[in-house]
Amino acid sequence: MAELKGALIGCGFFAINQMHAWQDVKGAQIVAICDRDPERLKLVGDQFGIERRYGDAAAMFADGGFDFVDIATTVASHRALVEMAASHKVPAICQKPFAKTLGDAKAMVALCAQAGVPLMVHENFRWQTPIQAVKTVLRSGAIGDPFWGRFSFRSGFDVFSGQPYLAEGERFIIEDLGIHTLDIARFILGDVATLTARTKRVNPAIKGEDVATILLDHESGATSIVDVSYASRLSTEPFPETLIELDGTKGSIRLSQGYRLEVTGPDGVAISDVSPQLLSWASRPWHNIQESVLAIQQHWADRLADGTETSTSGADNLKTLALVEAAYDSAASGRTVDIGALL
Ligand code: NAD
Ligand code: 89Y
């Protein structure tokens, strides 16, 4: 099978991870890059030895010569770039947040479906080694049927130095980080029927909310809490770990700080270390996220090669984005939101 050729749009902060990961993916390589900022284009082109460089995505699509596009820009450009990919019949990966609104996201999914073009959202947190480990234990039946969960991401890490735009938007933590935590909650406990949320802004130097507490009623009958904060000062900084608590009819799971997994079942307690690998190009504490970037990009290459659906397809991601929209609606109105009514 010939190696898939990809083109990447957006050579910013996070794209460096994606470019490194593409070098490790089996069966795919990046052959062209695009950024409207000539400095970023040169930096990434030189670092990764990519000759084909474009300042304009339309020009890159017009030249063609690639089997898929990896959109690594910020959200404002996602809809236009996904539409461009669909009009050229080029399968697309789009970074999270998939779209600014659920309406935009639905239009993007519909257009790609009409064009017969695969679409995956780069929703990588469910691909993290510790999250996959929790899912594997749950699937094994070791704790029986889960009836309660907590998905928690509390940190005081300075994300604004690398991503200054995060301080400037009306929306912050739910749209940027909570979106991953909500996706993990869906991945582990299934789809959500209703949602209630409360938010706060603690850091006066930013515009959006930096704390959110969200209550989810899952369709399975389980209840969970998603709590996220970038205003939590802790003795050992946990960034970027998602901590999980699950209680089931036969036992419990605790994924705690330091990638420690404790499973309590009918036969006793099992403790294991589910730390991510430190890839050759990765650096702590980002290595957990970096490893999941490689995992999701390998998944894309494998699914594109065998023609099957990805785990975080555009259609799947509508259900995660609906939770983001619902969380903002609920925090503003004080009411519980019916997720089915949004989809
Ligand atoms: P960034 O601002 O550093 O980089 C974006 C780049 O895209 C810039 O260089 C900009 O010039 C370029 N760009 C924007 N619109 C363009 C267009 N229409 N055509 C060509 N180039 C264009 O942003 P970032 O921090 O790298 O974030 C990018 C995306 O990655 C965001 O959506 C962010 O939420 C996401 N992200 C994901 C993770 C994750 O774990 N999945 C982590 C961090 C960031
Ligand atoms: O942008 C965010 C993401 O997706 O993962 C962590 C992050 O970089 C900062 O919150």
Q: Closest Cα to residue 50, out of 72, 67, 35, 68?
A: 35
- Taking CA atoms only, the protein residue closest to ligand 2 atom 10 is 177
Which residues lie with the beta carbon below 6 Å from any ligand 2 atom?
159, 163, 176-177, 180, 240
pLDDT of residue 2: 74
Ligand 2 atom closest to the CA of 173, numbered from 1: 10
| Residue 123 in tokens | 């929703």
Which residues lie with the beta carbon below 6 Å from any ligand 1 atom?
9-15, 34-37, 40, 57, 72-75, 77, 95-96, 122, 124, 163, 176, 289
**Which residues does 227 contact at the CB level (< 8 Å), separation at least 6?**
150, 151, 152, 153, 154, 212, 213, 214
- Taking CA atoms only, the protein residue closest to ligand 1 atom 31 is 74
Return per-residue pLDDT of the chain as tens, 343 residues: 579 999 999 999 999 999 999 999 999 999 999 999 999 999 999 999 999 999 999 999 999 999 999 999 999 999 999 999 999 999 999 999 999 999 999 999 999 999 999 999 999 999 999 999 999 999 999 999 999 999 999 999 999 999 999 999 999 999 999 999 999 999 999 999 999 999 999 999 999 999 999 999 999 999 999 999 999 999 999 999 999 999 999 999 999 999 999 999 999 999 999 999 999 999 999 999 999 999 999 999 999 999 999 999 999 999 999 999 999 999 999 999 999 999 9
Tell me how far apart the alpha carbons of residues 200 and 181 are, in angstroms, rounded to a whole number.
17
3-class state of residue 261 by DSSP: strand
For 156-177, the DSSP string reads: ----TTT-GGGGTSS--HIIII
Interval between CA 328 and ligand 2 midpoint (Å): 18
pTM exceeding 0.80 = yes
Mutate to test the pocket of ligand 2, among 159, 168, 292 (most ligand atoms within 8 A of CB): 159
- Taking CA atoms only, the protein residue closest to ligand 2 atom 7 is 177
Interval between CA 10 and ligand 1 midpoint (Å): 6
Interval between CA 302 and ligand 1 midpoint (Å): 24
- Taking CA atoms only, the protein residue closest to ligand 2 atom 5 is 177
Q: Closest Cα to residue 259, out of 240, 248, 273, 270?
A: 273
**Which residues does 332 contact at the CB level (< 8 Å), separation at least 6?**
none
One-letter amino acid for residue 40 of the chain: R
Backbone angles phi, psi at 178, to 5 degrees: -60, -25
Interval between CA 103 and ligand 1 midpoint (Å): 21
3-class state of residue 245 by DSSP: strand
User: Residue 3 burial (CB < 10 Å; 0-12/13-18/19+)?
Assistant: middle
Determine what percent of the chain falls in helix, strand and coil, rounding each to the nearest 5. 40, 25, 35
Interval between CA 52 and ligand 2 midpoint (Å): 29
| Residue 72 in tokens | 């690594």
Predicted confidence (pLDDT) per residue in 250-278, tens digit: 999 999 999 999 999 999 999 999 999 99
Ligand 1 atom closest to the CA of 125, numbered from 1: 40
Interval between CA 19 and ligand 1 midpoint (Å): 13
3-class state of residue 137 by DSSP: helix
Cα atoms in the 13 Å half-sphere on the side-chain side of 103: 0
Which ipTM did the prediction report? 0.99
Tell me how far apart the alpha carbons of residues 190 and 245 are, in angstroms, rounded to a whole number.
15
CB distance 35 to 10 below 8 Å: yes
- Taking CA atoms only, the protein residue closest to ligand 1 atom 9 is 12
pLDDT of residue 172: 98
Mutate to test the pocket of ligand 1, among 20, 35, 291, 296 (most ligand atoms within 8 A of CB): 35
Interval between CA 262 and ligand 1 midpoint (Å): 36
